[in-house]
Structure formats: C-alpha cells, structure tokens
Chains A and B, each alone.
Chain A
C-alpha cells in the first residue's frame, strides 16, 4: 500500500533579484559576497515567463528587488508583465536612478507599492553607511515623487550599531516622507553582514531600547503608520522562523535564474539549485533537491526533532546554523536549547570591542587571467 504524500501548498511570495548591480554599497547587503555580473542576468522574456509561471503556481505577491532593480532598463516592461499576470507588485529600491518619468511609467504599468531603503536620518551618516555621497538627499526627493505619483510607500530601515539610537527619528522621518508603513529590521548576519558583524552588532541595551521605542510608537502612531519590526535574533531566546519555514511560503530567483529558498541559501554547501532557464517554476518548487533538503520536519536533529516549537520556528535559520556551527542541519544556535548557544553570546561579546571599519559591498575584482 502506498500513502500519498501531503499536498505541498503553493508559495505566496516570490522575490525576484533582477540584478545585483546597485549604486549603493551597504555593508549589510543581503546579496551574496559573490555578486552576479550583468552578463549572467536573465533576459526580459525569461523573467516574464517566470512571472506567468509564478502566478499560475499560486504566488500572490512579487517583490522586485536587486541590487537596484532600476539598474534594469526593462523594469517598466517587467512590472507591466507581472501586473498583467495578476501579481501584486512591490518594488524594493534605493530610490537612486528612478526619475519622475520612469516612476510615472511604473505606476501606469500597474506597480502596487514601493519600498524605499533609508540608512539614517542624518545625511552625512546615511551617505556614509550607504557608501554613496548624496544618496539621502536623493531618497528624500524620491519619496515625495512616490507620493505625487499616487503610489503607496513603505520605508525600510535596516538598523545596526551606527543608526539604532536614531530609531525613533527614523520612524518620524517615514511619517514625514508620507510612508504608510515602515519596516525596522535588524541587520542579519550572513554574507556581507557577517563580514561586518563587529561593526554592525548593537549592544543588548541598544536592542532592548529599540524594541521598547517601536512598541511605544506603534501605539502612539496607530492609524498613521504601520510599524513592522524584525527582531535582533542574537538577543532573543528562540530563533526566528526563517522564511516562515524552508520552502514553505516563498522563493527567491537570483539574477542568473537560480531558484533559492532564501537569500543566503547558496552559502550552504552541497545543495543543488535548479535554474528557471532549464525547468518550470512549478517543477522547481515541488521537486528541487535544494527546496526539499530542509522542508518540513523530517530533516531535523535533536533538540529540534522532539521540540514543541519545531513547527513554530522550524529550527530557525539554516544559513545561521551553517555560518556559526559549521553544519546547516543543526539547530540555529540562537535557540536556548541549542548546545552551541554559547557561540551567540561570544559573537555579541566579540562585537563590543569598539568600532571596526565597514567593508562595503562591492564586486570582487575579476580573477587574474
């Protein structure tokens, strides 16, 4: 007798990393250290096919990201195709390189929402963090233009030691800029963030103060702005439910077409990522070995395997387990039940030594011939 496996639920969201090219050089960038070059990027027709396949598969929301998605000359066509497929389209942008005419064209093509990154409220600090002189002033102008174009705006503020004390001012700035929502998200320590951990990690007191500020402002500004908060998981008792579970709700397509369960999945050795140039998105979602590697709970070891929280946090983050313990199948060491929890305390302590220089996100020099 055979028992049919439970039907795999379709994904809700797709993050399309249209390009890794970006004018900014933020030291906590979620892109991998080894950035894809323009020559390996998918063409317009392939992206449009992926969007059609995503909608047919059950994806409801499409996040157009990068790098800076505006680096793609075909951005308006891509948004138009996605909107035609019925997808809710969210543009995740630095605001650099999108003039008013292009913004109007995006709105006309059916763009639903714009998410703009802001690095600080002080221009000099914001520009230093972004590694781009004049970035903050351009962002302010862009935010006004988003409002004038009648589009809905979210401000995204990644917080870390250099701006965490300005969290209240960042929320106030988002209100001033006309945003309906702000995402206050602690830097995540993979890839570039991990390289810069000593310079980015806040103290426990700073993280607690930021959380208290956010909770207070949520009440005070109720109905004016929605505040979403991504906690600093190094200071929590339990890990974050990374991606709401591996291969459970969403997928990422990188600039070259490889389909990943999360931004950082390619740091995990031995995983086989399928490419949209070779297979349909449905086939990849259902059968790709990389997606099935950590799906559900069967892959778990103790203490996760018998834990009551195994379907609450799904063992936390595979990439963090790998980065800190050396094995992606271990419990995320953020968890108080992890035998490796001491590594988290050590990482926090190591970061308190004082200022460290930022390593900016840049393309690696091409290997010498």
Chain B
C-alpha cells in the first residue's frame, strides 16, 4: 500500500459520488457496483476532498473544527484515503 503524501490533493474519482441516503438515513459513497455506507468521520473527510486542498490542509481543518488531536486525525484520514485509493474511488 502506498503511503499518503501530505501534499497530495485527494478528490473523488469520476464515477464516484457521496450522497445522502434519504430512505435509510446517513450518507453513502456510490461507485460502480458499490454502495459503501460512509460514517460521520468519512463524510467530513470526503467533503473536503475537492482536488484543491492538500492532505495536510484537510487534516488541519478537521483538527481545528473538532478540537481533536492532529496526529490521530491524520492517521484516520490516511487510513480512509489509502483504502479508498486502492479501491480506485479516490484519486490522490
């Protein structure tokens, strides 16, 4: 698995959508033949994956917003984005 570079600018791959699931509640990540339930943290991270922000900026923003430990957030972000990149749902 590739490490996540701080200056990567993640974005959802073409053909992947984050969408509210009105019938069941919550949010889902929709991709070819895949429906993944996105938990609260994942939704916050993915909303910031706009291809403009760097990973470092994204982590700073989340750490500030939630007043949480930066290292812990960085680890969570890295785990989520590397997993989704391997599934070709996020482009780094």
* The residue from A58, A90, A151 contacting B24, defined by CB atoms under 8 A apart: A58
In the complex, the number of residue pairs spanning A and B with C-beta atoms less than 8 Å apart equals: 58
Subset of 22 A-B contacts with CB under 8 Å: A58-B23, A60-B30, A60-B35, A61-B30, A61-B33, A86-B19, A90-B32, A112-B15, A112-B17, A151-B14, A152-B13, A152-B16, A154-B32, A180-B32, A180-B88, A181-B88, A222-B1, A223-B2, A223-B85, A223-B86, A226-B87, A228-B33
| Chain A minimum-CB-distance residue to B33 | A228
Query: B-facing mask of A1-41, CB < 8 A → 1, else 0?
Result: 00000000110100000000000000000000000000000
Residues of B within 8 A of A (CB): 1-2, 13-17, 19, 21-24, 28, 30-33, 35, 85-88
Q: Is the CB of A88 within 8 A of B23?
A: no
CB distance from B5 to the nearest CB of A (A): 14
| Chain B minimum-CB-distance residue to A249 | B35
CA distance A154 to B16 in the complex (A): 13
> How many chain A residues touch the partner (CB < 8 A)?
25
CA distance A67 to B61 in the complex (A): 49
Q: Is the CB of A88 within 8 A of B14?
A: no
Q: What chain A residues lie within 8 Å of B87 (beta carbons)?
A: 226
Given contact pairs A61-B30, A90-B32, A228-B33, a sample of 7 additional A-B residue pairs in the complex whose CB atoms are under 8 Å apart: A58-B22, A112-B17, A180-B13, A180-B32, A180-B88, A225-B88, A226-B88
Given A10-B23, A151-B15, answer yes or no on A113-B85 (Cβ-Cβ < 8 Å).
no
Q: What chain B residues lie within 8 Å of A57 (beta carbons)?
A: 23
CB distance from A309 to the nearest CB of B (A): 24
Asked if A313 lies at the interface with its beta carbon under 8 angstroms from chain B, I say no
CA distance A115 to B17 in the complex (A): 17
Query: B-facing mask of A81-123, CB < 8 A → 1, else 0?
Result: 0000010101000000000000000000000110100000000
Q: Is the CB of B19 within 8 A of A60?
A: yes
CA distance A115 to B32 in the complex (A): 9
Q: Is the CB of B15 within 8 A of A152?
A: yes
Given A226-B87, A228-B33, answer yes or no on A88-B17 (Cβ-Cβ < 8 Å).
yes
CA distance A154 to B31 in the complex (A): 11
CA distance A191 to B17 in the complex (A): 35
CA distance A61 to B34 in the complex (A): 9
CB distance from A33 to the nearest CB of B (A): 27
Q: Is the CB of A152 within 8 A of B17?
A: no
Asked if A289 lies at the interface with its beta carbon under 8 angstroms from chain B, I say no
